[in-house]
Structure formats: C-alpha cells, structure tokens
Amino acid sequence: MWIFFVIPMAIAGDVWRAEHSDGSVSFTDSPSSAVAYAIFDVEGPPPKVGRVNLKSFPSLDTFDGLITAAAHRYTVEPSLIKAVVLAESGMNPNAVSRSGAQGLMQLMPPTAADLGVTDPFDPAQCIDGGTRYIAKMLNIFQGDLRLALAGYNAGPNRVKRTMTVPNIPETQTYVKRVLALRRYFKNTRPIIYVPERP
C-alpha cells in the first residue's frame, strides 16, 4: 500500500484519509469535497509511508546537508530531523504557523531566542536550533521518541505531568506523522551523510 502526503504538513488539525480508485491512499488535513475522505484514527499505529510526493514537496532534499551536519553535531538521527522538518513546515523555510512558529522547524520566538537563533527563517540557523531542541527533548525523556516529539510539539512541561503523549489531537497526530516519516527516511529513502564544508 502506498501513502502519499499531498499537502504541506505544517497545518494542525484532524487528519483525513481517502482510498482512491487506483489503490493509492492519501492523507490531508483539509479534505476536498471531490474526494471521499474519512477521519483518520490518530490512536492507531503510525501509517506506513510508501513515498513522499515530490511534486508537493519539491525542496524535499534541499536541506539534507544542513540536516546531516546538525545530526552529526548533536548526535541526533538525521531521519528524525528530516521527518520533523517535513512535518513542521513542508520544507518551506519561510513557513509561519497560526501560533507564530517560524521557519523550517517551526520554532516559537521565545524558543528560538533561548536557542540563540537570531533568524529562524535562515535554514542553517533554524535546523541547528531545532536539532538542539530535539536533542534536549530526547535527553529530558531519556530517548523516548514519542515523548520527545510530544515535548517538541506541545512543550516538555505538559508532557512531564503525565509522562505520556498528551490527549491533544494535534499532538497525537503530529507524533504519529513524524514517526511514520522517520521510518520512511531511515529505511525507504535514507539520507546520505553530507559532511560540513570547512
């Protein structure tokens, strides 16, 4: 079964699933009336990603050098970073969310300031800062990917209260989406390490 992410995934909300006549499956958070979408169960396991539609994400591999450099610098899996970037911004360095999160890794201004990121729209700064923040979440939650991602999305203090993924549909959907993309970038379409230029 092939799954196509057909729109930028930085927009929060419900996730809808549709099966098409050619056998493909698509997911969206803004369903079209022309396609029969059904609400996707965010409680189940992460969906399997067959491929990511390059027409929807033409910049999919543009930032691999920055991603692998940050991954090496902070000892974070590059497939995880790339999954977060795609889920957060759809690989758009100029993305701004309704809540004011900015750049490829959708850093909130106070978080960016804490991380020393002076320009969140600069891909190098945003990926570096976002990767440091992921590393911090992984450290706080002792390597638990689900909790680290929930902390990245909803804030670590909210996750610490119960040490579970909060019962927030957006966060539950986000965690599943990133884990599915991480598996895809790790196993199906791995990133080739690109060393930093001297």
Domain assignment present for residue 45? The answer is no
Question: Are the C-beta atoms of residues 86 and 80 closer than 8 Å to each other?
Answer: no
Domain assignment present for residue 143? The answer is yes
Domain assignment present for residue 154? The answer is yes
pLDDT of residue 91: 94
pLDDT tens-digit profile of 117-129?
999 999 999 999 9
Domain assignment present for residue 156? The answer is yes
Name the percent of the chain lying above pLDDT 70. Answer: 72
pLDDT of residue 150: 97
Domain residues for the domain of 161 are: 64-188
pLDDT of residue 1: 33
Domain assignment present for residue 42? The answer is no
> pLDDT averaged over the chain?
81
pLDDT tens-digit profile of 17-70?
455 455 554 555 554 444 443 334 444 566 667 678 778 888 999 999 999 999
Domain assignment present for residue 27? The answer is no
| C-alpha distance from residue 151 to each of 159, 161, 190, 192, 195 (Å) | 6, 11, 25, 28, 29
Domain assignment present for residue 150? The answer is yes
Q: What is the CATH number of the domain that holds 147?
A: 1.10.530.10
Q: Which residues pair with 4 in a beta bridge?
A: 26
**Per the structure, how many domains does the chain have?**
1
Domain assignment present for residue 55? The answer is no
pLDDT of residue 166: 94
pLDDT of residue 47: 63
Please give the radius of gyration of the chain, using alpha carbons only, rounded to the nearest integer.
16
- 153 pLDDT higher than 80: yes
Closest CA to 3 of 198, 184, 197, 193: 184
Lowest mean pLDDT among 47-51, 54-58, 91-95, 134-138: 47-51
Record the pTM: 0.76
- The contacts of residue 155 (CB under 8 Å, 6+ apart) are none
Distance of CA 114 to the CA centre of its chain: 21
Residues with a known catalytic role: 88
